[in-house]
Amino acid sequence: MNKDTALRLALEAMEHEAQKGNDNAYQFEREVIKVALEAKDEPVAWRAWVSKFPQGTGSDWVYVTKPIMKDSVHNQPLYTTPPQRTWVGLTDEEAAQCWTYNDRTSWKNIEAKLRSKNNG
């Protein structure tokens, strides 16, 4: 069972309880699950580094619904499910360039090349 299926089942159970006459049953939890199910690759919130005092004598993280400063390195998106990267393999030519007669060196070269292609 994947996470989406589990969340949908939990939401159905909570809504069933609410239909029994208590509309407020699990109201907050139901809203959180609905947001989580709808938000696939979009951030659900942002973490921003801001000054706590006007004089700039201290800073701290705050959590907000939208980024505070556009394109700032101090804004970090928060996801319900982190975005997945697409795996990038080696071409035949790249693999041949990494290969030597020493097997241990070859595998280290291939590992380093794959790491550089997939980790930026």
Backbone torsions φ then ψ of 12, nearest 5 degrees:
-60, -45
Please report which residue ranges of the chain form alpha helices under DSSP H. Answer: 3-19, 27-38, 92-98, 103-118
Check residues 109 and 69 and name the one with the higher pLDDT: 109
Q: Given this model, what pLDDT does residue 42 score?
A: 73
pLDDT exceeding 70 applies to what percent of the chain? 78
Please count the other Cβ atoms lying within 10 Å of the Cβ belonging to residue 69: 11
Question: Which of 80, 83, 75 is closest to 47 using CA atoms?
Answer: 75
Report the Cα 105 to chain-centroid distance in Å: 35
Confidence check: pLDDT of 52 > 80: no
Confidence check: pLDDT of 56 > 60: no
Q: Given this model, what pLDDT does residue 55 score?
A: 61
For the chain, the distance separating the N- and C-terminal CA atoms, rounded to the nearest angstrom, is 32
